């Protein structure tokens, strides 16, 4: 055997240049970088060192032969020309890894592997009468054949199993980083130099602990192959056990010497199972006491006490589908906030398969490196956490990066027409709102179909804007719709004299049941607003609706007029705004019913904000449909005023079927009317545009539609925003309806 062997080290895509530098320090010569790895020459000791010490390589291959293999016969003959008895005993075992490219005639990898195996086995049988066996898991010899453009390259796999499997991973999480990719990321992030200076490493989303463990192995000068289960050269006939044992002894000594030099290495994660996996892996590495793993939320991220500045490194999720990507915008922004607030003087590195998300961080990358995580193109971005590297972070609302404000005259002709319409509405509705003392109102409601937005103003201590985009039909080009949306949003700061930070955006798609009330975000920022002499808390960020239905402004005023001296019941109460109006109007008692604890608590806060509390104001958490059926049999719970505003569609556990307002409104109204006093009044509302009241099925009730009378001026452009009826028992004459 020549003193210098022809070798090839494979590596993940994007890692070859790092691998070449690494191999040079291990004694390799004649290095040539390839897309899939590095070609080099080296002694047997160099090959062993590469298996033991390479942090970036996937496999170390000893090249045996190259030959044309356009046909199965040529492949068979080329394999037989290699003297396999020099590498494998006849009673030994083998496995064949066969890879072929699309430009080769042999396209089936399994068929190619069989031909290679047959050629080797036949050679042994012809020469010795014995043949080696096949063992795909733990063979004495693993043979690697790569076929490219009908040329076969045959090698022995000295690494055996892939070198990224260090041997310490006891537990895992979904889609973990491969260990050699993690090592490459750390090298590009500058960790080896920082570790030598005693810097701290912190991974706030450490998953199963791969980055912290690889960082500790580097800092402690621990050979990554020390725990590798079994190398491919172990059953090779030319293996030198004495040389190998010397190298292992040296590696163990270097590990002992480096044990005291490892600086602080910390991993956090919010997921309990990930933390358990990381702790198990750290224990298996023998680094207990060196690496600290802890469950901690990103919101609490701060530098460890007395920690020397170093590196914050993170591999955050980056999503694969649009909805996932948009949902992660806030996560990246929160990460940037924590870094800016607590880690000035540190360095940071973010590895992501979606670099667009890092643009939402407000940090200027000092360096960027291209990698691949499997088939996914990724980037590693390095940040200097210094004030001069901080940039103004884009405003994010509804999971979307808001556009930068723009002068109207710079926008397209269509956007300028939108701006003109908005100016006209603002002028006319603004005068009306000031005259009526209204501070929360709608200024635009898809007046131009191309700009299908609903825009509401909320006047609290500072003016805020709530923008909802109606989901465009599939017939509308999505790119054009997105461009129009961005232009409209960009114009709003100038048109409304409001900073982008106080413009809150959401997409309003068709909702069913409780979906319109489901949480959209977790900011928990409440704004106090006034309406009709009452005060309310609204939330413009966390839910699709804000907590105050502006189109019910006149409906609430009617409830206040009807309330004096009456016991009032508010069903499907949401945040209790109708209850507040009733109490303000003089109701002697109120009962507020809703299935959501969150909204009942909100209703309590609204009542308390207006000074209403005590036993005469009751809050009940219940499914309103079930509650009505239970209450209809009691005679002592009677109400002089009921507000009934059910959803268009929902599911009732008691009914064990869906609730549909058109199909089920008769039974709902009858159950509710049973709770009215003889002179009681039921205000029934819903927002199903095609709703038809079945008057014939509601015999015994006086039903008066009051929809037009309850439509505020700012919603007059949308006559079907809601439907509304005043319902009483027919024994009550029309002349008494207003009492």
Confidence of residue 479 (pLDDT cuts 50, 70, 90): confident
pLDDT attached to residue 719? 84
Average pLDDT estimate for 700-709: 96
* Nearest C-alpha neighbor of 97 from the set 181, 21, 159: 159
> pTM score > 0.85 for this model?
no
pLDDT attached to residue 636? 66
Confidence of residue 738 (pLDDT cuts 50, 70, 90): very low
Give the residue extent of every domain in the chain: 5-157, 179-223+254-397, 408-509, 547-736
The single-letter DSSP state of residue 260 is: G
Q: What SS3 class is residue 689?
A: coil
- The pLDDT tens digits of the residues spanning 548-584 come to 999 999 999 999 999 999 999 999 999 999 999 999 9
DSSP string, 510-549: ---GGGGGSB-------EEEEETTEEEEE-SSSBSS-SS-
Least confidently predicted of 53-67, 294-308, 496-510: 496-510
Residues in the chain, overall count: 739
pLDDT for residue 519 is more than 60: no
- Taking all residues of the chain, what is their mean pLDDT, rounded to a whole number? 91
Question: What pairing do the DSSP bridges indicate for beta strands 37-42 and 649-652?
Answer: unpaired
CATH for 179-223+254-397 is: 3.40.50.150
Neighbours of 391 (CB within 10 A): 11
pLDDT for residue 140 is more than 70: yes
pLDDT attached to residue 358? 85
Same topology, domains 179-223+254-397 and 547-736? Answer is yes
- Tell me the two tokens of residue 88: 């494998």
What is the homologous superfamily of the domain 408-509 according to CATH? RNA methyltransferase domain (HRMD) like (3.30.750.80)
Residue 717 pairs in a beta bridge with: none
Share above pLDDT 70 across residues of the chain, in percent, rounded to a whole number: 93
Task: Decide if 230 contacts 166 (C-beta within 8 A).
Answer: no
pLDDT attached to residue 660? 94
Distance between CA atoms of residues 664 and 451, nearest Å: 35
CATH for 5-157 is: 3.30.2130.30
pLDDT attached to residue 654? 46
SS (H, E, C) 56-93: CCCEEEEEEEEEECCCHHHHHHHHHCCCHHHCCCCCCE
pLDDT attached to residue 510? 45
* Nearest C-alpha neighbor of 421 from the set 463, 451, 389, 395: 451
pLDDT attached to residue 623? 93
SS (H, E, C) 224-259: CCCCCCCCCCCCCCCCCHHHHHHHHHHHHHHHHHHH
Average pLDDT estimate for 516-522: 46
Nearest-10 Cα torsion for 132, 135, 139, 141: 50
pLDDT attached to residue 508? 67
pLDDT for residue 631 is more than 90: no
**Largest Cα–Cα distance in the chain?**
115
CATH for 547-736 is: 3.40.50.150
pLDDT for residue 735 is more than 50: no
pLDDT attached to residue 493? 94
- The pLDDT tens digits of the residues spanning 269-302 come to 999 999 999 999 999 998 888 999 999 999 999 9
* Nearest C-alpha neighbor of 90 from the set 284, 288, 258, 237: 237
Strand boundaries in 101-222, DSSP class E: 133-134, 141-148, 151-157, 201-203
């Amino acid at each position: 055997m020549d003193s210098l062997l022809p070798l090839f080290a494979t590596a993940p895509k994007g890692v070859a240049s790092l691998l070449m530098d690494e191999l040079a320090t291990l004694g390799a010569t004649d290095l040539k970088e390839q897309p899939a790895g590095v070609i080099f020459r080296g002694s047997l000791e160099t090959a062993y060192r590469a298996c033991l010490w390479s942090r970036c390589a996937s496999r170390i291959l000893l090249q045996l032969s190259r030959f044309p293999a356009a046909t199965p016969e040529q492949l068979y003959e080329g394999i037989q020309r290699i003297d396999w008895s020099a590498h494998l005993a006849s009673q030994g075992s083998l496995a064949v890894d066969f890879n072929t490219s699309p430009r080769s005639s042999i396209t089936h990898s399994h068929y190619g592997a069989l031909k290679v195996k047959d050629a080797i086995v036949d050679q042994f049988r012809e020469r010795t009468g014995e043949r080696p066996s096949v063992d795909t898991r733990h063979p004495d010899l693993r043979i690697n054949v790569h076929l490219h453009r009908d040329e076969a390259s045959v090698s022995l796999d000295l690494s055996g199993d892939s070198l990224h499997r260090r041997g310490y991973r006891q537990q895992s999480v979904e889609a973990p980083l491969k260990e050699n990719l993690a090592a490459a990321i750390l090298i590009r992030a500058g960790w080896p130099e920082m570790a030598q200076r005693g810097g701290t490493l912190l991974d706030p989303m450490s998953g199963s602990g791969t980055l912290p463990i690889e960082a500790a192995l580097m800092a402690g000068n621990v050979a990554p192959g020390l725990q590798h289960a079994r190398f491919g050269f172990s059953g090779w006939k030319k293996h030198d056990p004495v040389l190998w044992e010397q190298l292992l002894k040296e590696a163990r000594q270097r590990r002992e010497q480096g044990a005291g030099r490892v600086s602080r290495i910390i991993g956090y994660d919010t997921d309990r199972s990930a933390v358990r996996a990381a702790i198990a892996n750290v224990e298996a590495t023998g680094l207990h006491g060196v690496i600290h793993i802890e469950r901690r939320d990103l919101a609490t991220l701060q530098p460890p006490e007395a920690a020397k500045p170093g590196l914050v490194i993170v591999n955050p999720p980056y999503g694969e589908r649009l909805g996932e990507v948009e949902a992660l915008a806030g996560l990246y922004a929160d990460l940037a906030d924590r870094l800016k607030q607590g880690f000035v003087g540190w360095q940071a590195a973010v590895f992501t398969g979606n670099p667009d998300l890092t643009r939402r961080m407000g940090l200027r990358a000092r360096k960027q490196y291209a990698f691949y995580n499997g088939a996914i193109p990724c980037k590693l971005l390095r940040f200097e956490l210094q004030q001069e590297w901080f940039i103004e972070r884009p405003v994010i609302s509804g999971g979307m990066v808001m556009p930068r404000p723009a002068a109207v005259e710079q926008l397209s002709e269509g956007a300028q027409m939108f701006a003109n319409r908005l100016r006209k509405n603002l002028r006319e509705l603004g005068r009306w709102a000031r005259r009526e003392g209204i501070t929360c109102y709608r200024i635009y409601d898809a007046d131009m179909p191309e700009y299908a937005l609903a825009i509401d103003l909320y006047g609290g201590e500072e003016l805020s804007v709530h923008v909802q985009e109606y989901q465009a039909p599939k017939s509308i080009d999505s790119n054009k719709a997105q461009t129009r949306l961005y232009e409209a949003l960009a114009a709003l700061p100038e048109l409304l004299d409001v900073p982008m930070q106080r413009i809150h955006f959401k997409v309003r798609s068709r909702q069913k049941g409780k979906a319109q009330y489901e949480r959209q975000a977790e900011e928990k920022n409440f704004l106090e607003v006034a309406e009709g002499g009452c005060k309310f808390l609204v939330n413009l960020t966390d839910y699709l609706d804000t907590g105050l239905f502006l189109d019910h402004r006149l409906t609430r005023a009617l409830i206040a007029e009807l309330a004096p001296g009456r016991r009032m019941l508010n069903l499907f109460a949401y945040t209790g705004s109708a209850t507040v109006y009733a109490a303000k109007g003089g109701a002697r008692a109120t009962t507020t019913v809703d299935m959501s604890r969150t909204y009942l608590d909100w209703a309590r806060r609204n009542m308390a904000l207006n000074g209403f509390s005590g036993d005469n104001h009751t809050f009940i958490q219940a499914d309103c449909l079930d509650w009505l059926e239970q209450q209809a049999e009691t005679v002592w719970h009677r109400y002089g005023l009921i507000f009934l505003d059910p959803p268009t569609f929902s599911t009732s556990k008691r009914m064990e079927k869906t609730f549909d307002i058109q199909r089920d409104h008769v039974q709902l109204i009858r159950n509710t009317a049973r709770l009215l006093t003889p002179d009681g009044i039921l205000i029934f509302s819903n927002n199903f545009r095609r709703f038809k009241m079945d008057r014939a099925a509601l015999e015994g009730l006086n039903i008066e539609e009051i929809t037009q009378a309850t439509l505020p001026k700012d919603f007059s452009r949308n006559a079907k925003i809601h439907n509304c009826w005043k319902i009483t028992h027919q024994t009550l004459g029309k002349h008494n309806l207003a009492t």
